[in-house]
């Protein structure tokens, strides 16, 4: 049943947004072709502890770091995206052969970052990572809300939808993110006592 | 599951990494064993046998038979009926899902257990086909819960995080970033519930696999090509799944993902083969002109050849076919032992 659930979940993700440009194994087409390469065998992908950057230039990495921390900042419950090494995770996703042909997602990511930089140059005369936080948020406000985005921002919206997905995948699949969500499964349970009383009482 | 007890008899020799090319036959057309390629050394090998039992999965067993041509079996072994590869079935499938606000902001708890949401809905309208407009039935598998956060978790949250919005001010529609978004991931975690319908496809002769004359695999063995289409029976069934699943979710005040798939979208049905329940390609039957095997999974044309995967299935269970496969294989095994003891096989 677990395989079936995963397959359905992936399929559904494809139905929900068929246009995400560099999300992964989540288009109906990829899922329905059953491409073994579309998803790693265990459904996870992660850089090793001694991971060294494979894809991003130093500037791109800096941009990804700044933007990822705007997507998921630190708060009193957990750290930021970069605290959980999300930029390294994204770099790994860009090159991981287990996720299928890397060319389309590399182009979409690289192009999206360049689009962001060009927008910031036009508006603020500085690259995104060099802008003030207020300027960075001004740009994100134009691309982070698809239904409210001004005309002409479509490419940025598309990019940021996928970027948000990648940041969430990286952050919440890290130990920090798993702890943040309060996932406490996959442990030995000596006696099954059903759903805890306080859960359905809420 | 059954390999270990078979080994304990001391009568089993297990050959792995053996890709069978064809069933070999003698001048009379009876099976004499199989030829295979050792995939580690790429060397050609043969095994002699009194009885050959294929259980390579429905399509692969059909492929083997169709590739086993000889003077006695020009259309492939056990295929005088022309039925090998035909009546190919899969389960129908479609999925509906949504967010249940009752499950948002739950206390941390372990959702591991006996499958999805500990719920399964078997077919319940078996006596109401007059009004349904489609034959056969389906079931719902329910999934959801606070699963292990992994790759793709809460993907595309921007398509739904405006539902059940919190007290904060935000622009129209979903999306966002920062503290608001981080809190949204926490609020929605574990709140998605899905209903996956799986149903019975009607067996039809014109749904089939056949040898593709232009293509071989890496061992030089001709591969299959497929000609399978859903009929109105399956499409109307899946339409019913979609409508029912949406009704169930809405009745629980869910935010349902996506719109009802249209007729042009085939009501959201999976592609044939996607549920990976291939069956029916070597169907059993009493009439050798319209079936490949008899009721003991024994080939009509070749008495020492059996098929014991989902190929013998004449109709598709709406549940997963494994138990039916096992039951038929056990019946075939008893028959083989009985016939051997009588000296007739």
Say which of A32, A168, A184 has its CB closest to residue B274: A32
Angle, alpha carbons A122-A128-A133 (nearest 5°): 110
* CB of A23 less than 8 A from some CB of B: yes
* pLDDT at residue A46 in the model: 62
State which of A13-17, A191-195, B116-120, B233-237 shows the largest mean pLDDT.
B233-237
* pLDDT at residue A10 in the model: 46
* pLDDT at residue B115 in the model: 61
More confident residue, B21 or A17: B21
Joined tokens for residue B289: 């002109």
Look at residue B286 and tell me whether its pLDDT is greater than 70: yes
Among residues B195, B144, B190, B188, the alpha carbon closest in space to that of B163 is found at B188
Which class for A132: exposed (0-12), middle (13-18), buried (19 or more C-beta within 10 A)?
exposed
A/B interface, count of CB pairs below 8 Å: 181
Distance from CA of B82 to the nearest CA of A (A): 29
* pLDDT at residue A30 in the model: 35
State which of A20-29, A181-190, B188-197, B201-210 shows the largest mean pLDDT.
B201-210
Among residues B196, B112, B151, the alpha carbon closest in space to that of A8 is found at B196
* CB of B197 less than 8 A from some CB of A: no
CB contact under 8 A, B185 and A20: no
Categorize the per-residue pLDDT at B114 as very low, low, confident or very high, splitting at 50, 70 and 90.
Answer: low
Predicted confidence (pLDDT) per residue in B27-39, tens digit: 999 999 999 999 9
* CB of B213 less than 8 A from some CB of A: no
Q: Which of residues 283-342 of B touch A (CB under 8 A)?
A: none
Give the CB-side neighbour count of residue B208, counting CA atoms within 13 A: 14
Q: Please name each of the domains of chain B with its CATH number.
A: 3-89+277-342 (3.50.50.60), 92-202+231-268 (no CATH)
* CB of B182 less than 8 A from some CB of A: yes
Cβ neighbours of A24 in B, within 8 Å: 151-152
Among residues B342, B301, B40, B173, the alpha carbon closest in space to that of A157 is found at B173
Beta bridge mates, B93: B198
Say which of B178, B196, B257 has its CB closest to residue A73: B178
* CB of B204 less than 8 A from some CB of A: no
Q: Identify the three-state secondary structure at position A176.
A: helix
Distance between terminal CA atoms of chain A? 29
| Cα–Cα distance measured from residue B51 to residue B305, given in angstroms and rounded to the nearest whole number | 6
Length of chain A: 202
**C-alpha dist (Å) from residue A41 to A45, A171, B213, B236, B285:** 9, 20, 32, 34, 39
Q: What is the β-pairing status of strands B120-121 and B92-99?
A: unpaired
Cβ neighbours of B275 in A, within 8 Å: 4
Which class for B317: exposed (0-12), middle (13-18), buried (19 or more C-beta within 10 A)?
buried
Look at residue B41 and tell me whether its pLDDT is greater than 60: yes
Say which of B115, B152, B162 has its CB closest to residue A24: B152
Joined tokens for residue B233: 């029976």
**C-alpha dist (Å) from residue B50 to A122, B45, B83:** 80, 17, 25
List alpha helices for chain B, DSSP H. 3-8, 58-67, 129-132, 179-188, 232-251, 322-342
pLDDT average, residue stretch B285-298: 98
* pLDDT at residue A4 in the model: 42
* CB of A41 less than 8 A from some CB of B: no
**C-alpha dist (Å) from residue B333 to B52, B137, B167, B190:** 12, 30, 66, 46
| Cα–Cα distance measured from residue A141 to residue B208, given in angstroms and rounded to the nearest whole number | 53
| Cα–Cα distance measured from residue B270 to residue B95, given in angstroms and rounded to the nearest whole number | 9
pLDDT per residue rounded down to tens, chain A (202 residues): 344 444 444 444 443 333 334 433 333 333 333 333 334 444 455 666 778 889 999 999 999 999 999 999 999 999 999 999 999 999 999 998 888 889 999 999 999 999 999 999 999 999 999 999 999 999 999 999 999 999 999 999 999 999 999 999 999 999 999 999 999 988 888 887 877 888 876 5
pLDDT average, residue stretch B175-190: 96
Categorize the per-residue pLDDT at B1 as very low, low, confident or very high, splitting at 50, 70 and 90.
Answer: confident
Q: Which of residues 94-123 of A touch B (CB under 8 A)?
A: none
Q: Which of A2, A10, A11, A32 to mutate to test the interface with B (most CBs of B within 10 A)?
A: A11
* CB of A150 less than 8 A from some CB of B: no
pLDDT average, residue stretch B92-100: 95
Query: What ipTM score was computed for the predicted complex, to two decimals?
Result: 0.81
Residue in chain A closest to B148 (alpha carbons) equals: A183
Residues above pLDDT 90, as percent of chain B: 87
What is the DSSP annotation of B25-38? E-TTS-EEEEEEEE
| Cα–Cα distance measured from residue A31 to residue A43, given in angstroms and rounded to the nearest whole number | 13
Q: Which of B142, B152, B259 to mutate to test the interface with A (most CBs of A within 10 A)?
A: B152
The answer to whether B164 and B101 are in contact (CB under 8 A) is yes
Beta bridge mates, B208: B86, B227
> Domain limits of chain A?
50-183
* pLDDT at residue A47 in the model: 65
């Amino acid at each position: 049943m677990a395989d079936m659930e995963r397959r359905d979940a992936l399929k559904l993700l494809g139905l929900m947004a068929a246009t995400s440009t560099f999300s992964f194994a989540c288009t109906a087409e990829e899922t329905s072709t059953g491409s073994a390469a579309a998803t790693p065998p265990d459904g996870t992908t992660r850089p090793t502890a001694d991971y060294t950057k494979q894809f991003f230039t130093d500037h791109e990495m800096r941009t990804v770091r700044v933007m990822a921390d705007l997507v998921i900042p630190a708060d009193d419950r957990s750290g930021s995206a970069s605290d959980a090494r999300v930029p390294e995770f994204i770099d790994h996703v860009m090159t991981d052969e287990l996720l299928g042909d890397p060319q389309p997602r590399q182009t979409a990511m690289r192009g999206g970052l360049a689009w962001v930089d060009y927008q910031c140059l036009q508006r603020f005369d500085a690259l995104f990572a060099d802008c003030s936080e207020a300027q960075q948020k001004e740009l994100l406000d134009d691309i982070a809300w698809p239904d409210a985005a001004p005309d002409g921002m479509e490419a940025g919206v598309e990019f940021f939808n996928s970027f948000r997905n990648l940041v969430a995948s990286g952050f919440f699949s890290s130990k920090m993110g798993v702890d943040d969500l309060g996932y406490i499964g996959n442990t030995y349970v000596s006696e099954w006592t059903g759903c805890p009383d306080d859960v359905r009482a809420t | 599951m059954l390999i270990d007890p078979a080994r304990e008899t001391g009568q089993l020799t297990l050959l792995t990494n053996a890709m069978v090319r064809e069933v070999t036959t003698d001048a009379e057309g009876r099976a004499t064993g199989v030829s295979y390629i050792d995939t580690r050394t790429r060397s050609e090998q043969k095994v002699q046998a009194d009885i050959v039992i294929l259980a390579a999965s429905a399509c692969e067993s059909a492929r083997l038979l169709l590739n086993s041509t000889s003077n006695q079996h020009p259309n492939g072994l056990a295929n005088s009926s022309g039925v090998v590869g035909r009546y190919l079935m899969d389960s129908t499938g479609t999925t509906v899902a949504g967010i249940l606000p009752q499950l948002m902001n739950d206390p941390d708890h372990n959702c591991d257990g006996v499958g999805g949401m500990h719920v399964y809905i078997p077919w319940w309208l078996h006596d109401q086909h007059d009004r349904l407009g489609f034959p056969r039935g389906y079931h719902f598998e329910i999934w959801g819960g606070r699963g292990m956060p992994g790759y793709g978790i809460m993907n595309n949250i921007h398509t739904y995080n405006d539902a059940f919005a919190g007290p904060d001010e935000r622009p129209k529609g979903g999306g966002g970033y920062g503290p608001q978004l981080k809190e949204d991931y926490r609020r929605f975690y574990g709140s998605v519930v899905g209903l996956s319908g799986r149903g019975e496809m009607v067996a039809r002769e014109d749904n089939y696999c056949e040898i593709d004359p232009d293509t071989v695999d890496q061992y030089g063995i001709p591969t299959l090509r497929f000609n399978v289409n859903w009929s109105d029976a399956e499409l109307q069934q899946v339409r019913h799944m979609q409508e029912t699943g949406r009704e169930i979710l809405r009745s629980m005040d869910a935010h349902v993902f996506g719109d009802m798939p249209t007729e042009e979208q085939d009501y959201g049905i999976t592609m044939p083969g996607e549920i990976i329940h291939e069956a029916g390609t070597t169907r059993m039957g009493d009439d050798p002109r319209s079936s490949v095997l008899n009721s003991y999974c024994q080939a009509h044309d070749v008495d020492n050849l059996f098929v014991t995967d989902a190929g013998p299935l004449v109709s598709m269970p709406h549940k997963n076919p494994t138990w039916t496969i096992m039951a038929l294989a056990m019946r075939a095994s008893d028959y083989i032992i009985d016939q051997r003891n009588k000296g007739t096989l």
